[in-house]
Copies of this chain bind each other. A is one copy, B any other.
Amino acid sequence: MTSTTEPAVPVKRRRDRAAREREILDAAERIFGDRGYQGTSMDDIAAQVGVSKPLIYQYYGSKDGLFLACLSRLRAQLLDAVSDAVLTAADAEQAMYAGFVAWFEFLDEHPRAWSVIVDEGMLAAGPAAQAADEVRADFVELIATMVRLNLPPNRETDEEEIQIVAQSISGATERLAIWRSRNDNAPSPAKIAETLQRILWQGLHTLQD
């Protein structure tokens, strides 16, 4: 009985490495997003993919490594969304506004991505912290570029000051995102973007001295 009905399609179990890695990463993103870093065990993910735990370790090295891979991919998507908004805007002032709106809207529309990014704090220790910083660095660079565009063009730029501002904006938007997510009646993306824009637009021009 058992042998006659089965063998038509032996449900190809083995896949090549790249495909399996993607499969694992997708599952990890889903589960980390639902249950958080602490609430997720490697066994959970392995079971979900239908694979054994050591395989995941072979591909991703550690739980931190796997989480970092998820984080990195999600942040890249977020960066894309914001970059697009910034680059297609008509002028520098609108670019900044559009960037803020894109940031908060993306996080609204991708609650799982959002959870993973919040849990980034989990990587506070060890070498993973540095890797997490590098993932964020692209974002800070984008912001720094925007800030430069908002400065009067004839002014000699103080790079240290630009870094301070870019780090500030990055930190501010992250905290605002967390605050919004824990607060049902928090302001809309548009309202927040408008407020930030108003403060910064004036403020940035005072940097020229």
The answer to whether A77 has its CB under 8 Å from any CB of chain B is no
Residue on B nearest A175 in the bound complex, by CB: B171
**Docked CA distance A39–B170 (Å):** 28
Tell whether A160 pairs with B176 under 8 Å between CB atoms, given A118-B124, A122-B124, A199-B165: no
Residue on B nearest A174 in the bound complex, by CB: B171
Residues of B contacting A171 in the complex (Cβ-Cβ under 8 angstroms): 171-176
Residue from A187, A206, A209 having most chain B Cβ neighbours under 10 A? A206
**Docked CA distance A118–B163 (Å):** 20
Establish whether residues A199 and B195, one from each chain, have CB atoms under 8 Å apart when the complex forms: no
Establish whether residues A39 and B125, one from each chain, have CB atoms under 8 Å apart when the complex forms: yes
Residue on B nearest A193 in the bound complex, by CB: B164
The answer to whether A53 has its CB under 8 Å from any CB of chain B is no
**B-contacting residues of A (Cβ < 8 Å)?**
36-39, 118-122, 124-126, 130, 133, 160-161, 163-165, 167-176, 179, 182, 187, 191-192, 195-196, 198-207, 209
Query: What are 28 residue pairs bridging A and B, where the CB atoms are less than 8 Å apart in the complex?
Result: A36-B124, A38-B126, A118-B124, A119-B121, A119-B125, A120-B121, A121-B122, A122-B122, A130-B182, A160-B187, A160-B191, A161-B195, A164-B187, A164-B195, A167-B172, A167-B179, A168-B172, A168-B175, A169-B172, A170-B175, A171-B176, A195-B207, A198-B207, A199-B200, A199-B204, A199-B206, A202-B205, A202-B206
